[in-house]
Chains A and B, each alone.
Chain A
Amino acid sequence: MDSRFEKVSALMDGELGDVRKESERMESDPELLERWDRYSLIADLMKGEDVAVPQTDLAADFDRALSEEAVYMSPSSFHKGGAAAGAKKSAAAANEESFWVRGLRKVAGFAIAASVAAVTIVGVQQYSGITPNGTISTAPMGGVAPASAEFNGTRIRNAGSADASSWSEIEHAASRGVRGQKSVSSDASARAEAAEDINEFGIMVKDHEGFRRVSGLDL
């Protein structure tokens, strides 16, 4: 007889020491899971329970659904799993690691995006008529300038027809459009994306108030 099944039998009776290790091993071994199923059914029948044996592999469907659920994490699980020490990783520890790795990637992504944006703004200021103090000159550069142009949704008239108030309007629009509006929308989309990633990780963290789902903005 297969001694692996003897451990399944002991686990069923609550007589096995390392439940986490055995259930983790069973997860990847269909034979062990099948044994657990059959021992369970036999137990029900011996106790005279009413049972219905599904015609489909209901447990496999459930395992798929369960895999999309959050993993519960208590402070002790960070130590018990041993994953951080480089031992075989539990699913929870793998999630923890991927969380930090992906977090760093996101920070790196922001840094690169910010650098590109800064270079672009400087470039535009240097070569497209935006002065260092943020004002826009719409004077034609080697060609005929249009009477007006669309800039981030704000119509800007040609410098030739601009009066003092319209220059102020243009400066304000440019400042809001290039710096404010752009950075706000970037920040909002990044936060939404980060929250989406956190949900994807699906981590339930235990603190003094009990388990709670970690949201993107909590971290």
Chain B
Amino acid sequence: MSDERSDEQLIDAVLNGERSAFGLLFRRYQYRIAHAVMKYVHEQADVNDVVQESFIKAYRALPDFRGSSSFYSWIYRIAINCAKNFAVSHGSRAVNSFDVDAPETESYDSSGKLTDTDSPEALLSTRQLKRKVDDTLASMPEELRTALVLRQVEGKSYDEIAAAVGCPVGTVRSRIFRAREILVKAVSPFMEHV
């Protein structure tokens, strides 16, 4: 996966005394983890608590993270367990009857259908964001789009992208940054707190 190298660097920094690097891991995965937790916990305040608890548990157990799976898979499993425990302790019936232990299964319930635990407003907001990103990508200069897609979707390194498109690594870095900035400006109006 494309984020693994960066995750490893951040974990290494945390284990060498830079606690704030774990905050970056939280910020990177908070949106996906919050979505996963929402399948078991419905109140927004409770979702926030469970997400935070999950990451604190992960921080405390970080020396035990061996890297056999990605950091995201690891934190995902921790979060699902925390969410299930929360749901059980609060008498919620939202817990599915089977174990969810892989990120790939997060969009399905026990009957195999897509879950609809997200509020209509939240779904609309996410769809709007996705559409905005797609539209903006389509309209940006091709060399910027190519660099960002190769990096973000294909998981290529800067060296690999430079070799693929035939330009210096510094140019790749600059193109990816400029593409991201264009996207940030496009989605900012949709986001209040992010």
Binding site for B on A (CB under 8 A): 1, 5-6, 9-15, 19-20, 23-24, 26-27, 33-59, 61-63, 65-67, 69, 71-74, 76-77, 80-81, 90-93, 204, 206, 210-211
Contact = CB atoms under 8 A, between A and B. Distances in A.
B87 to A, nearest CB: 16
A6 B158 CA distance: 14
Interface in B132-186: 133, 137, 148-149, 151-153, 157-158, 173-174, 176-178, 180-181, 183-184
Given A12-B6, A49-B32, A6 B15 contact: no
A10 B173 contact: yes
B187 interface: yes
16 contacts: A9-B173, A11-B24, A13-B158, A33-B27, A35-B184, A36-B27, A37-B27, A52-B38, A53-B122, A53-B129, A53-B193, A66-B20, A69-B19, A92-B17, A92-B18, A210-B63
A92 B13 CA distance: 11
Counting chain A CB atoms within 10 Å of each CB, the highest count among B34, B56, B180 belongs to B180
B16 to A, nearest CB: 4
B16 A77 contact: yes
Contacts of B99: none
Given A45-B130, A66-B56, 17 more contacts: A14-B7, A15-B158, A23-B20, A37-B27, A41-B129, A41-B194, A42-B184, A51-B34, A51-B35, A53-B122, A56-B48, A56-B193, A61-B52, A65-B56, A69-B56, A71-B17, A77-B17
Interface in B28-76: 28-32, 34-36, 38, 44, 47-48, 51-52, 55-56, 59-60, 62-63
A50 B194 contact: no
A54 B35 contact: no
B10 interface: yes
A47 B52 contact: no
B31 A53 contact: yes
B93 interface: no
Nearest to B122: A52
A51 B37 CA distance: 11
B106 interface: yes
Given A44-B32, A73-B17, A58 B118 contact: no
Counting chain A CB atoms within 10 Å of each CB, the highest count among B9, B38, B129, B176 belongs to B9
Interface of B: 2-10, 12-24, 26-32, 34-36, 38, 44, 47-48, 51-52, 55-56, 59-60, 62-63, 106-107, 118, 122, 125-126, 129-130, 133, 137, 148-149, 151-153, 157-158, 173-174, 176-178, 180-181, 183-184, 187-188, 191-194
Contacts of B14: 72
Nearest to B37: A52
B191 A53 contact: yes
B58 to A, nearest CB: 11
B3 A9 contact: no
A143 to B, nearest CB: 64
Q: What are the 3 closest A-B residue pairs judged by CB atoms, nearest first?
A: A92-B17, A14-B5, A14-B6
Nearest to B12: A19
Contacts of B193: 53-57
B174 A20 contact: no
Contacts of A37: 27, 194
Contact of B34 (A6, A54, A65, A211): A54
B50 to A, nearest CB: 11
Counting chain A CB atoms within 10 Å of each CB, the highest count among B15, B20, B130, B181 belongs to B20
B16 A69 contact: no
Contacts of B106: 50
